[in-house]
Chains A and B, each alone.
Chain A
């Protein structure tokens, strides 16, 4: 479980911010308005944002600033949105990235691998 840093010796107390609620995989969560979706989820202990599209291995944030595209989720119906650079908004519907259907499952067999 992770937590918010409410008071910081140099940066001071966390400024008071408006709260909003959003859903992640149909669960209701609270967040501070304007914070990134990745931060809001991590603050509630959620690290896994998607699974690898083929292997289903869990994935979370890596760079946290929009460079690596590891944090892709579905936001309000749009796939491939980066959770680390998207601000949470009231009523946002977020779904974790899922395994994609692979029609040619056993390509390795036919390629001598």
Chain B
């Protein structure tokens, strides 16, 4: 078929878009550089409600099977390195040749920010997502015993996943304060964000603590009296008053140096202590992986609540460039279910442009579904994602009034 819709990214957003388009009899090619389809959904594994597990591998396989049933084509192990517009076509440059399309969907997901701590280039240091994929997808232990640097939703979830796989996590702790770790090394800021994972924590202390600490003053008190060795979540000490100041080892990771930190994040001199680990996970948070949108020429806006710089887009998942759509984490950091719902919106707005039977009502309903999914999300990466979404909506409206005037 001529000029199929091309989707870059076989994560939940890309897969759900592909399925929706194919269900409308529209030809689709999904390009992804990874070994398997599924994107970051592949590594996900957590208990949503007692005894009900969200198994990302099973979900990915189910989506892939459905897409194949509908004759969606896949080009895996295919890295996209450039995009350009020629006449009416988007030209997609990859290591497996050049693809052309009139309607392109970018669903490239998110990437992880590191903390540049001394020793972080040693083999054995990896992003927390790397450990997730090693453990749950490849079924290889990242090591015997590790430490996680960075206290946030993703690191807490992955700590538990490691523990289920019988990989020891010595502690989850803060990075040492430096220019690049500002928000992540201040115990108070971290405590604030930690309150948002409290619903996942069976530890009574954190549960009670989170209600108790909503008040600023009490929170400060909480930090001050926060036990130096941390409170335990799933048996793993979460240390808000300790920071890893150095990762040590000759040829690979052998340990880390932990120090006690004051309430403002500064280090207590003489408190340094070495502990032995054979791997270190860095959890610096996620940001939208949007380079391709940038190459395509999309305007970008920095919206902290969405995780960083995001391409200008509207609720229908259109960018301001003809034939270019975006969906999933590239538009803001949220969980897989929101990405799935966004993929559907993008697909419906593409399908309507291609003359398929899609009504405005269908699109509006799909948008509503994104909102309800968001409201019920189990994992929320940023507590104020709604504020971020509103900001983007406003910027879009302003950009329209500019083009009209």
Closest CB-CB distance, B307 to chain A, in whole Å? 15
Of the candidates B77, B122, B129, B289, the one whose C-beta lies within 8 Å of that of A64 is: B129
9 tightest Cβ-Cβ pairs between the two chains A and B = A60-B123, A64-B130, A39-B138, A47-B123, A5-B139, A43-B140, A48-B123, A2-B141, A39-B140
Q: A5-B166, A63-B111 are known contacts. Are A11 and B35 too (CB-CB below 8 A)? A: no
CA distance A35 to B123 in the complex (A): 20
Contact code string A2-19 (vs B, CB < 8 Å = 1, else 0): 111110111100100000
CA distance A36 to B76 in the complex (A): 14
CA distance A59 to B135 in the complex (A): 20
Chain B CB count within 10 A is highest, among A3, A11, A87, for A11
On chain A, the number of residues with a Cβ less than 8 Å from chain B's Cβ atoms is: 38
Q: A5-B140, A42-B134 are known contacts. Are A58 and B251 too (CB-CB below 8 A)? A: yes
Closest to B112 in A: A63
Contact code string B121-151 (vs A, CB < 8 Å = 1, else 0): 1111111011101111011111110000000
Closest CB-CB distance, B366 to chain A, in whole Å? 28
Q: Are A85 and B77 in contact (CB under 8 A)?
A: yes
Q: A4-B139, A47-B123 are known contacts. Are A62 and B130 too (CB-CB below 8 A)? A: yes
Q: A36-B35, A85-B77, A87-B77 are known contacts. Are A10 and B123 too (CB-CB below 8 A)? A: no
Cβ of B252: which chain A residues have Cβ within 8 Å of it?
A: 47-48, 58, 60
Of the candidates B77, B126, B143, B166, the one whose C-beta lies within 8 Å of that of A63 is: B126
Q: Are A65 and B130 in contact (CB under 8 A)?
A: yes
CA distance A98 to B40 in the complex (A): 31
Q: Are B134 and A85 in contact (CB under 8 A)?
A: no
Starting from the known contacts A60-B124, A67-B111, 18 additional A-B residue pairs (CB-CB under 8 Å) come to: A10-B45, A11-B45, A11-B55, A42-B142, A43-B140, A47-B123, A48-B252, A59-B121, A60-B125, A61-B130, A63-B126, A63-B127, A63-B130, A64-B133, A65-B133, A67-B112, A67-B289, A85-B33
Q: Are A8 and B130 in contact (CB under 8 A)?
A: no
Please report which residues of chain A, range 19-68, place their CB below 8 angstroms from some CB of chain B when the two chains form the complex. Answer: 34-36, 39, 42-43, 47-49, 52, 57-68
Cβ of A84: which chain B residues have Cβ within 8 Å of it?
A: 130
Q: Interface residues, chain B, CB within 8 Å of chain A?
A: 33-35, 40, 45, 53, 55, 57, 77, 79, 111-112, 114, 121-127, 129-131, 133-136, 138-144, 164-166, 251-252, 289
Some 18 contacts from A to B, beta carbons below 8 A apart, are A2-B140, A8-B165, A10-B45, A36-B35, A36-B138, A39-B134, A39-B138, A48-B251, A49-B123, A60-B123, A60-B124, A60-B252, A62-B114, A62-B127, A62-B130, A64-B130, A64-B134, A65-B40
Closest CB-CB distance, A75 to chain B, in whole Å? 12
Please report which residues of chain A, range 73-103, place their CB below 8 angstroms from some CB of chain B when the two chains form the complex. Answer: 84-87
CA distance A24 to B205 in the complex (A): 49
Q: Are B166 and A34 in contact (CB under 8 A)?
A: no
Q: Are B123 and A5 in contact (CB under 8 A)?
A: no
Cβ of A34: which chain B residues have Cβ within 8 Å of it?
A: 35
Q: A62-B125, A62-B126 are known contacts. Are A4 and B289 too (CB-CB below 8 A)? A: no
Closest to B253 in A: A47
CA distance A8 to B143 in the complex (A): 16
Closest to A62 in B: B126
CA distance A49 to B124 in the complex (A): 11
CA distance A63 to B185 in the complex (A): 22
Closest CB-CB distance, A70 to chain B, in whole Å? 8
Q: A3-B141, A10-B55, A48-B251 are known contacts. Are A64 and B35 too (CB-CB below 8 A)? A: no
CA distance A34 to B57 in the complex (A): 16
Cβ of A67: which chain B residues have Cβ within 8 Å of it?
A: 111-112, 289
CA distance A41 to B131 in the complex (A): 15
Q: Are A11 and B136 in contact (CB under 8 A)?
A: yes
Closest CB-CB distance, A83 to chain B, in whole Å? 12
Closest to B136 in A: A11
CA distance A83 to B324 in the complex (A): 31
Cβ of B166: which chain A residues have Cβ within 8 Å of it?
A: 5
Q: A36-B138, A64-B134 are known contacts. Are A85 and B129 too (CB-CB below 8 A)? A: no
CA distance A9 to B51 in the complex (A): 12
Cβ of A9: which chain B residues have Cβ within 8 Å of it?
A: 164
CA distance A48 to B34 in the complex (A): 21
CA distance A48 to B335 in the complex (A): 33
CA distance A87 to B144 in the complex (A): 24
Cβ of B125: which chain A residues have Cβ within 8 Å of it?
A: 60, 62
CA distance A49 to B126 in the complex (A): 13
Cβ of B45: which chain A residues have Cβ within 8 Å of it?
A: 10-11
Q: Are A64 and B34 in contact (CB under 8 A)?
A: no
